[in-house]
Amino acid sequence: MIWNDAIDFFIFTLRYEREMSENTCAAYERDMEAFASFMEGSGIGSPSGATRESIDAFLSAERSRQMASSTRARRLAAVREFFRCLAERGKIGQDPTELVDSPKRDVALPRILSEEEIAAMLDTIAGDAPRDLRDRALLETMYGCGLRVSEACALKIDDVISEGELLRVSGKGSKERVVPIGGGAGRALERYMAAARPFYAKGDLSIEEIFLTRLGRPFTRQGVFKIVLERAEAAGISRTRISPHVLRHCFASHMLQHGADIRAIQEMLGHADIGTTQIYTHVDAARFGEIHRRFHPRA
């Protein structure tokens, strides 16, 4: 299987089996075309001829061209997915990327809460009072959909689509994306919309925003921040470790830990460059490092 055929097979798999968006498929295709061009220039005419050494040579060439480490990391992520796809489907004998090191870069790791801490925080909001229903729906939606605080504040009733299964989000630069509403977020949002939002809207049908204050107005960033701090402290989580954006970080990190594809996470977060999303792979590595240090007898 030559490079062009292999890339076509890979993109077909992404588009029709994994049901990735056209933008994501196009990004993968661009990165793989750059990789294939280098391989062919090195005399390697098919994926089965690629080795760890040739992939390292590709990354070194990218570095010598002063390609940003985030771009190199993104391209390596595409190459990994490509060879994993071919190996899983028997198109090549072995995945040559298994031992390839990712490009190193200095990164400031985002603050992350554990899944248990997130659950404890949400479980402190268990009442049926309008405020409890609202706060639970707000935090479940931010964590369940990976929203920025500004995106949560701007959500409108009409943004809940496909019978409540999807959420239309207006992100940076007014770029829209659609994200799934998970079970926890969906249930909390449904309860709030039915039993609590009418209380806050006070019968005013002209108000479009979903999340409303006690005065019937859309939330500000500061108002959401206060709710997050209050609910975190109720769960014994220090206010120095929490913010609305930490919930977004937790969404991405926990998805990655459970095996989600990095490109899918990129789409759901609304990142223009996968290099931004790659930060969560470092978080995951740091978590495993901590586990190793804690439990390995020779660590």
DSSP code at position 215: T
- Reduced to 3 states (helix: H, G, I; strand: E, B; else coil), residue 169 is strand
> Rounded CA gap, 242 and 254, in Å?
16
Lookup: tokens for 186: 């969906």
Task: Render 9-27 in DSSP notation, one character per residue.
Answer: HHHHIIIIIS---HHHHHH
Q: Of 142, 149, 194, 192, whose CA–CA distance to 167 is shortest?
A: 142
- Side chain identity at 235, as an amino acid letter? A
Q: Which residues are catalytic?
A: 148, 172, 245, 248, 271, 280
CB atoms within 10 A of CB 224: 22
> Rounded CA gap, 242 and 232, in Å?
7
Task: Render 104-143 in DSSP notation, one character per residue.
Answer: P----PPP---HHHHHHHHHT----SHHHHHHHHHHHHHH
Count of helices and strands (H, E) across the chain: 14, 3
283: Cβ contacts below 8 Å, ≥ 6 apart: 109, 110, 112, 249, 253, 256
